[in-house]
Structure 1
Amino acid sequence: MEYHDYYKTLGVSRDASQDEIKKQYRRLARKYHPDVSKEGDAEQRFKEVAEAYEVLKDPEKRQSYDQLGANWKAGEEFRPPPGWESAFHGREANFGGPGGFSDFFGSVFGGGMSGGMGGGHVRNHPGADQTMRISIRLEESYEGSRRTIQIPEINPNGEIGTARRKLEIRIPKGIQEGQKIRLGKQGQASLSGGPRGDLLLQVQFQKDQQLRASGSDILMNLVITPWEAALGERITVPTLGGDVELKIGAGTQSGQKMRLKGRGLPGTPPGDQTLTIQIHTPPAENQEIEQLYNELRDKSEFNPRTQQR
């Protein structure tokens, strides 16, 4: 009986994560599925891939398989070590269903694929998850919203079709850029008549002229005049929840930051809105303003360069 190297069959390393194993299995299952593949040995390869995944997808089966050692090579003559059957089969009794796997699988694990493997075809296996980006306004995250989107239909073999589907979706309050909205059974169709995979909508924010997000916080550059900075003033500041009145203290400097607590995206706790002060100087666009600048220059001893020493 030949030893089967399940890691080699899937093309993953022995320390591959469960997510890596799952992703690789789905890729190979699409490639070799007899209903869509044009490979001459597609059905045999598909059965080998399914057998390898049946073992490696389950942490307990994988651990038991790894106990056989990493020195075996695919195709080598193999016999289970003494006492293996009683040690493993005694605690494994849920493989039920007709077999479709190799003698190696049967000798090591004592059964067929959980739920059956008729003729080597995986029945009712779900389709792959599908990820796409969705662009929303900051206000939609702040308030929560509903919208209709259109998504391309992904064929069971992973190709993008020409048909499109309409979906009604809910955008949760406080969702942040990079987070995903999961829509169950709205992803890629199954190769074997099973349910669709899930659709994951990865959120990105549309550009706003004044506001931008950093996690749950909202950032804004607040532009003020030199006299507002020097003398102090009360001004109106936009936030996602509406305009608020803010007091600019006398002597405020460019680059100084101010915080509006709880004025960011909703959450527990909610984010804040951080304002970075930028002082914009008006141009000397007429003789009167130019004269005022001359008087300020002559009367003030202020020199920011000497203050930096």
Structure 2
Amino acid sequence: MQFKDYYQILGVSRDATAEDIKKAFRKLARKYHPDVSKAPDAEQRMKEVNEAYAVLSDPQKRAAYDRLGEGYRPGQDFRPPPDWDTGFEFTGQGFSPEDLAGFSEFFTELFGRMGGFRPRRGAFRGEDHHAKVMLDLEDAFRGATRQISLQVPKTDPHGRLILETRTLTVKIPRGVREGQIIRLAGQGSPGMGGAPAGDLLLEVRFRPHPKFRAVGSDLHLTLPVAPWEAALGGVIPVPVPDGVLKVRLPAGAQSGQSLRVRGKGLPSVPPGDLLIEIRVVLPPADTPKARELYQTLARELAFDPRRSGGPDHAG
């Protein structure tokens, strides 16, 4: 997928005001509208202009695009990083498949899932806001209260894009899963005529953890073990977010083998499982004593994994 420079498409600078963007759009619309333009590529150019305007005329999309697109050139190969829009507070209902039909793959990949929450509406109830937030896995395991800062894109009185920051105290429920919504009542747009305000919907994402990976309510862990532990089996201490868990390793365990410990994943209802992938790690033969021990093993065991049914042996 190629990166699109929406500022270049409209012919405006990155610090253009809202009025600059509107004027540039109107000028290009008069030039490329298929009803008036004789240019053979007028329809395609008009689509590009409409798409660029849809982003740059919206302070929320523009702010997110500015952060994402920093350092990229038009036509450069591009894939948005996961959760690139985390920390921005957005309003709106998102896009239906029909809304996205006229936009490019680039636009759809960036904004197709943005604003994906459908607000609950009363007659004059305030609009719901939403944001993705990054949490530590330990917070989900234990529950916590955290200060979360969100950037709110707005336009100042001169039409320039600014980012305001608001900080909220959020209670993280124990056992929260990735993708789950934490609803903060009354933290959305104010209602009209005394009607209640909308809510703020926080979509949970987990920061990368050095040991664990959460999939739903399950936790995945790669556990390094010594060759003698794998061969002989035994009880192995396994660090988990709330302490140390003792896991029985079966004798003859092989790299890639999985163990499931039921109920030791995230403490949701029902609790998830802990899935452990075994990785046998060989000690280095970097001392005379270590080399001697390896030579003894080679001589006494006479083991050939290519003939003796090793884990990669085809038979």
Normalising TM by the smaller chain, what interval?
0.5 to 0.7
- Report the TM-score when normalising by structure 2: 0.53
Q: CA–CA distance in 1 between the matches of 2:247 and 2:147?
A: 38
Q: CA–CA distance in 2 between the matches of 1:145 and 1:160?
A: 34
The Cα of 1:209 is off from its aligned counterpart by: 1.2
Q: 1:156 to 1:162 in 2, by over 3 A?
A: closer
**Does the Cα contact within 8 Å between 1:284 and 1:290 map onto a contact in 2?**
yes
The Cα of 1:247 is off from its aligned counterpart by: 2.5
Identity %: 38
Q: 5 Å matches for 1:254-265?
A: 254-265=255-266
Partner of 1:240: 241
Partner of 1:250: 251
Matched, 1:138 2:134: no
**Does the Cα contact within 8 Å between 1:229 and 1:250 map onto a contact in 2?**
yes
The Cα of 1:194 is off from its aligned counterpart by: 5.6
Q: 1:136 to 1:244 in 2, by over 3 A?
A: same
Matched, 1:152 2:143: no
1:194-241 CA-to-partner distances (Å, cap 9, x unmatched) read 654321111111121111111001110010011111122322111123
Matched, 1:125 2:96: no
Residues matched between the structures, number:
189
Q: CA–CA distance in 2 between the matches of 1:183 and 1:301?
A: 65
Q: CA–CA distance in 2 between the matches of 1:193 and 1:165?
A: 23
Q: CA–CA distance in 2 between the matches of 1:266 and 1:242?
A: 14
**Does the Cα contact within 8 Å between 2:154 and 2:164 map onto a contact in 1?**
no
Paired residue secondary structure (1:227): helix
Matched, 1:227 2:239: no
Q: CA–CA distance in 2 between the matches of 1:162 and 1:246?
A: 49
**Does the Cα contact within 8 Å between 1:188 and 1:198 map onto a contact in 2?**
yes
Partner of 1:164: 165
Q: CA–CA distance in 2 between the matches of 1:153 and 1:293?
A: 62
**One-letter amino acid of the counterpart of residue 132, structure 1:** A
1:52-95 CA-to-partner distances (Å, cap 9, x unmatched) read xxxxxxxxxxxxxxxxxxxxxxxxxxxxxxxxxxxxxxxxxxxx
1:141-192 CA-to-partner distances (Å, cap 9, x unmatched) read 11111122223346699x9754333322111111111111111221245688
Q: CA–CA distance in 2 between the matches of 1:279 and 1:147?
A: 38
Q: 1:229 to 1:162 in 2, by over 3 A?
A: closer
**Does the Cα contact within 8 Å between 2:155 and 2:162 map onto a contact in 1?**
no
- Report the TM-score when normalising by structure 1: 0.54
Partner of 1:296: 297
Q: CA–CA distance in 2 between the matches of 1:151 and 1:189?
A: 18
Q: CA–CA distance in 1 between the matches of 2:198 and 2:150?
A: 14
* Structure 1 residue runs without a partner (length 5+): 1-26, 32-122
Q: CA–CA distance in 1 between the matches of 2:220 and 2:173?
A: 21
The Cα of 1:262 is off from its aligned counterpart by: 1.0
Q: 5 Å matches for 1:38-117?
A: none
Partner of 2:203: 202
Q: CA–CA distance in 2 between the matches of 1:224 and 1:136?
A: 30
Q: 1:179 to 1:156 in 2, by over 3 A?
A: farther
**One-letter amino acid of the counterpart of residue 287, structure 2:** N
**Does the Cα contact within 8 Å between 1:156 and 1:191 map onto a contact in 2?**
no
Paired residue secondary structure (2:289): helix
**Does the Cα contact within 8 Å between 2:233 and 2:253 map onto a contact in 1?**
yes
Q: CA–CA distance in 2 between the matches of 1:247 and 1:124?
A: 60
Q: 1:162 to 1:253 in 2, by over 3 A?
A: closer
Partner of 2:182: 181
**One-letter amino acid of the counterpart of residue 152, structure 1:** Q
Partner of 1:37: none
**One-letter amino acid of the counterpart of residue 149, structure 2:** Q
**One-letter amino acid of the counterpart of residue 255, structure 1:** G
**One-letter amino acid of the counterpart of residue 130, structure 1:** H
Q: Which has the larger radius of gyration?
A: 1
1:108-153 CA-to-partner distances (Å, cap 9, x unmatched) read xxxxxxxxxxxxxxx9733432221111111111111112222334
Q: CA–CA distance in 1 between the matches of 2:193 and 2:171?
A: 30
**Does the Cα contact within 8 Å between 2:255 and 2:279 map onto a contact in 1?**
yes
Q: 1:153 to 1:304 in 2, by over 3 A?
A: same
**One-letter amino acid of the counterpart of residue 249, structure 2:** I
The Cα of 1:271 is off from its aligned counterpart by: 0.5
